Amino acid sequence: MESQGKFKYRRDLLVSMRRIIQVKIYKGEKYYVAECLDLPVVTQGKTLDEVAENVKEAISLHLEGEDIAEWDILPNYSILVNFELPTAAYAEA
């Protein structure tokens, strides 16, 4: 009976854990900047490809040696990147 309670707890825990780590990328003054919304991770790169590689590495390094369950993240997580486009001050007709 007690093992069923542990299983239910673990199943509920897994349901509440994230499988996706969200990141936003935007153009800074000189570089593209990537800010992780779920972890305290920020990095940059000269190109979109470079900043994408840098953010994957930065997240991996941040979670290295950590119990990712404490961050409510599943071991087989994915990274979802949103790219923010600058808005035009006005639209031309």
Domains of the chain by range and CATH? 15-83 (3.30.160.250)
- Find tokens 């979109």 and name the residue: 48
Half-sphere exposure of 53 (CA within 13 A, CB side): 5
Q: pLDDT digits over 57-89, tens only? A: 999 999 999 998 888 888 889 999 999 888 765
Q: How far apart are CA 6 and CA 88, in angstroms?
A: 54
- Find tokens 């600058």 and name the residue: 86
User: According to the model, what pLDDT value does residue 17 have?
Assistant: 76
Nearest to 41 by CA among 76, 13, 79: 79
pTM: predicted TM-score of the whole model, two decimal places:
0.74
CB atoms within 10 A of CB 55: 25
User: According to the model, what pLDDT value does residue 90 have?
Assistant: 60
